[in-house]
Amino acid sequence: MPSARAADMPVPVGSRTAASANVFPAQMDGQTASSHGGQAGALPASVHRQQGGDHGHLRKGRSSRTASGEGEGMLRASGAGALPPTVRPVRHGGPVVSSHATDVDVSARRHDFAYPDAQHQPDATTRITSERLKERDIVTLRGLERVAPNLTMQSINGTASSNFYLRGAGFNDFTQNNMGPVLTYIDDVAYPYSTMSNGQMFDLAGATVTPGPVGTEHGQSDTGGEVHLHTNDPTDVWHYGASQDIASYARSRSEAYVSGPLAKGLSFRLAGQTRHGGGWQTNPQNGDHLGDADLWALRGKLQWKPDSHTTILLGGHFVQDNSEVVSSVPVHRLIGKQPLPQMGSWKEAEWSSRPEFARLIGRKAGIKPSEHNQFWGADLHITHDFGPVTFAAISAFETEREGEYTDQDGTAQSQADTYRTIDANSFTQEVRLSNSHPDDKLQWVVGAYYQRTRMNQRFFFDYTDYSARGYMMATNFGMNQESVSEFGHLSYRLPHGVTIWAGLLHELDDRSITGLQSQIFGGVTRNFHAESTASNQFAGQVGVSWQMARHALVYYKMSKGFKPGGFTANNTQIQAQLDPFRPETVLTYEAGFKADPIPNRLRINGAAFYNDFHNQQILGTVLIPNYGPLSEITNAPKSESWGFEGTIEAHPFSHLFVTQNIGWQRGNFQNFPTVNRAKTNAYYAQHGVWKAINDNFGGVDNGQPKLTLNGSADWRQPIARAYSLDIGPDWLYRGSQAITPGGTGFYRLPPYFLLGAHVTFRPASGKWEATLYARNILDRRYAESGGQATTTYFYIPGEPRFIGGRISCGF
């Protein structure tokens, strides 16, 4: 499982300065006999560095692509490409390895797989290069499930908001007012609500996915893990570039960047992107189409190095997203006698909006399911090397202004049309002290983290065509949250390749929901009193690793994770719905290995895990008398999950590189008393009366996909010594997933398999490249996510076949 905090991964400023330069962590493009069939081990007379958005590549002979199964190699040389000036060492056991931003040892051996130093790190983190992200056409967070094992990332009702599931840990939070089990980070800044990161996956240096409890080394505690995006930093030499991507359904994506010095010790980087078109759904009633993107984003960074020991990096970003969303397709009518829409194609969907509802929400008549979102923020990273210790501080302020319309029932009737607005902001502050010498046997880091968020949401519902209600209504509330944590982590390297480590975190979290009001227009208005919840918990980790051979590492660790409680605040009808759910804790046991049994030919990494959950936060059901079932986040007192994941990278012979990720997990509820939604719905269908059928889901499967597979094969062919051609397929399989506890039949998303491919042509200089690609070549019909509206159960269909081309250049 190649991963992110390793020596080769560029990490944004906020960490430590790189140290010694006697290691060559870059991978060299293969013109050796073992990779491209050229002269073995021969270095070209000149070394070309890529001068684009990616980091400096060592250009060797004919190919501008590295020989790594993960994409590009990262050349650690002063002034090369877009290398950040500082990196964070890996803290969680094993030999501490740092990147090197000074000289290059050109006599070092070639690496055919990315992140060779990460093979000495005892973790199950998936490290993904920017080249791999481009190759697999990953431009949103949800795309990461195509390159990481045991990861499921799903859109909420086809919108920009996402729910994460990692190793089966996750939950469905439509209102997005609670902290998820898997946190998103961008350049070391934690985003408490994943929607805030929308539109920021451009000009990336790489990404990482870390499963399991986290928080003893940086940031905030969590039970499921973290997804971390690393963006490119300013450079001390001028670089600029652009790319244009055009695909099916008139989809267009454009990116550009410029980076360079402004004065001695002062440099900047400015990058932006736009997205347009791509709408592939049509309305069979009038032929209208849906799903066009309309997004633009800017990111800027200003870096100042007043001396050789200090780095100050100021960053800011702005995103405007007016994109249409994918609309739902109903698969079962829960309430009413109207037949479900009969679609001639799975690319069709029905939607509607009444003028009266449009006026109520302040939007134009005929509004389509769409976003009207604005995100912006700023962050300040300060690092200073005092000699024996390094100090790092990260301050960040993030905002979210969201307006989102969805037709959740998926019909032309107004039975569950929804518009919500979110006005939220978050301030975070982190400080860390760590030892400055990565070669010391004792490695340590201590720090503190503070987070404060404020949120106001308002939901509008149009139930006019739902005979049991026949009205429009609104629910609004405020959310206040504040937390503070202290953490520490240390590791010690013993003789014979053994390293032990331990970490501890304490967190205090306080949150409240205020001013909740439920208003029926033309009817009754209900006001609910505020609720609050606080938690005070410890989390930690202990582990041991053994470098049993030069190319083989084994490790074992135990971790306790903690996540605070919160509130369900959607369509509230009774005060009891605002009772807070309790904090979630998990005790995780993990054993893993990393091996290169045939160096530069075969790499096999794997990990097995067992999660023992207490009060796992689950989307359950509450039945409101004479109203119907509503979703409610609740606690399963006892549950468990277990499984394994692995990555195989192979370079069996010249030109061919194969990567395969495998994820398998099982889990069940050991004790989970709640309303059985399927039985309750069946009782209503038979008797026409709502009656809660209570059940205990003890022994029932947790519903997460048991098997996930993704991988790619790449054939790299040099052409006339001056060019190279890369061609190959990629694939993804995701198993069946339940959309309600114990769900069967339409309560489960069917499994699916997707196939893609790409062809890339580039010169050895690396100054430009042209790519043709296809996604979902077989044009498979599949459901990306699902849920329940007032009257129907629905699926959110996944994208059909897209065929596109991309050309990019960098200087």
- The residue with greater pLDDT, 65 or 191, is 191
Q: Is residue 120 classed as helix, strand or coil in its secondary structure?
A: helix
CB within 8 A of 698, min separation 6: which ones? 669, 670, 671, 672
Q: In this structure, what DSSP letter does residue 222 have?
A: B
pLDDT of residue 388 exceeding 60, the answer is yes
Question: How many CB atoms neighbour CB 249 within 10 A?
Answer: 17
pLDDT of residue 147 exceeding 60, the answer is yes
Residue keyed to tokens 């008797």:
687
Q: What percent of the chain has pLDDT over 90?
A: 65
**586, 612 contact by CB (below 8 A):** yes
pLDDT of residue 593 exceeding 50, the answer is yes
How confident is the model at residue 70, as a pLDDT?
36
**330, 338 contact by CB (below 8 A):** no
Which residues pair with residue 637 across a beta bridge?
A: none
Instruction: Return the closest-CA partner of residue 397 out of 448, 452, 447, 449.
Output: 452
- The residue with greater pLDDT, 806 or 13, is 806
- Cα-trace Rg, the chain: 26
pLDDT of residue 386 exceeding 90, the answer is yes
How confident is the model at residue 61, as a pLDDT?
32
pLDDT of residue 751 exceeding 90, the answer is yes
What sign results for the dihedral spanned by CA atoms 572, 577, 583, 585? negative
Ranges of beta strands (E only) in 67-122 are 86-87
pLDDT of residue 659 exceeding 50, the answer is yes
Give the separation between CA 719 and CA 88, rounded to whole angstroms. Answer: 39
pLDDT of residue 16 exceeding 70, the answer is no
**41, 157 contact by CB (below 8 A):** no
Q: What is the pLDDT of residues 496-515, one digit of tens each?
A: 999 999 999 999 999 999 99
pLDDT of residue 33 exceeding 80, the answer is no
Average pLDDT over residues 578-590: 94
Amino acid, res. 455: M
Question: How many CB atoms neighbour CB 61 within 10 A?
Answer: 22
Q: Is residue 488 classed as helix, strand or coil in its secondary structure?
A: strand
Least confident of 22-26, 379-383, 468-472: 22-26
Residue length of the chain: 811
How confident is the model at residue 111, as a pLDDT?
53
**36, 656 contact by CB (below 8 A):** no
Tokens of residue 343, six digits: 């679609």
pLDDT of residue 567 exceeding 70, the answer is yes
pLDDT of residue 14 exceeding 60, the answer is no
Q: What is the pLDDT of residues 279-294, one digit of tens each?
A: 999 999 889 999 999 9
Which residues pair with residue 245 across a beta bridge?
A: 253, 806
Cα separation of the two ends of the chain? 32
Mean pLDDT computed over every residue of the chain: 85
Instruction: Return the closest-CA partner of residue 659 out of 37, 113, 106.
Output: 113
How confident is the model at residue 721, as a pLDDT?
85
Average pLDDT over residues 547-568: 94
Going from the N-terminus, what domains does the chain have, and what CATH number goes with each?
229-810 (2.40.170.20)
pLDDT of residue 554 exceeding 80, the answer is yes
List strands edge to edge, sheet with 189-191: 126-129, 204-211, 225-231, 182-186, 189-191
pLDDT of residue 31 exceeding 50, the answer is no
**246, 805 contact by CB (below 8 A):** yes
Q: What percent of the chain has pLDDT over 70?
A: 86
Instruction: Give me the DSSP letters along 717-743.
Output: EEETTTEEEEEEEEEEEE--EESSTT-
Average pLDDT over residues 375-394: 96
- Cα distances (Å, whole numbers) of residue 745 to 330, 589, 608, 699, 706: 14, 33, 30, 19, 17
Q: In this structure, what DSSP letter does residue 678 have?
A: H
Average pLDDT over residues 637-666: 95
Q: Give the pLDDT band of residue 78 (cuts 50, 70, 90).
A: very low
Instruction: Return the closest-CA partner of residue 153 out of 130, 169, 134, 177.
Output: 169
Give the separation between CA 462 and CA 406, rounded to whole angstroms. Answer: 11
Q: What is the pLDDT of residues 193-205, one digit of tens each?
A: 888 999 999 999 9
Question: How many CB atoms neighbour CB 598 within 10 A?
Answer: 13
Q: What is the pLDDT of residues 664-692, one digit of tens each?
A: 999 999 999 888 888 888 888 888 888 88
